[in-house]
């Protein structure tokens, strides 16, 4: 192989590895950022509702809801879900996610 072709091949290989590494870093940063945002939102939710009497009263209903995969919906859980959504209207969470959050606090 001639010297210019060998240098050209080495240059292309170096550029390709740099492109792959940078795209991996961007992808990793995006995933880590999304997980951090989700964790922060869950942490904010649980800390703000930890002392809420309506939410505390719904723990047993939340456990039944989660355990039955949504088939059992108690009155106290329904009240807590409405209360949480009024307190945090921008929150985008399913009933199952909220029930799990109630159990976590």
pTM (predicted TM-score): 0.55
Q: Are 62 and 102 in contact (CB under 8 A)?
A: yes
CB count, 10 Å around CB of 100?
Answer: 16
**CA 54 to centroid of chain Cα atoms:** 24
Query: Domain range spanning residue 43?
Result: 3-104
| Residue 6 in tokens | 């060998």
DSSP state, residue 93 = -
pLDDT, averaged across the chain: 76
pLDDT of residue 11: 67
Domain total in the chain: 1
pLDDT of residue 29: 58
> How does pLDDT run along the chain (105 residues), one tens digit per residue?
567 777 677 766 666 665 555 555 555 555 555 555 555 555 555 556 777 899 999 999 999 999 999 999 999 999 999 999 998 889 889 999 999 989 988
């Amino acid at each position: 192989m001639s010297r210019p072709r060998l240098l050209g091949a080495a240059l292309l290989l170096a550029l390709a590895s740099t492109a792959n590494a940078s795209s991996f870093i961007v992808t990793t940063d995006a995933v880590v950022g999304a997980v951090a945002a989700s964790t922060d939102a869950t942490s904010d939710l649980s800390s703000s509702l930890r002392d809420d009497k309506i939410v505390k009263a719904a723990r047993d209903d939340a456990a039944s809801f989660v355990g039955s995969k949504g088939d059992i919906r108690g009155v106290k859980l329904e009240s807590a879900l409405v209360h949480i959504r009024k307190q945090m209207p921008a929150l985008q969470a399913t009933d199952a996610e909220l029930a799990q959050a109630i159990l976590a606090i």
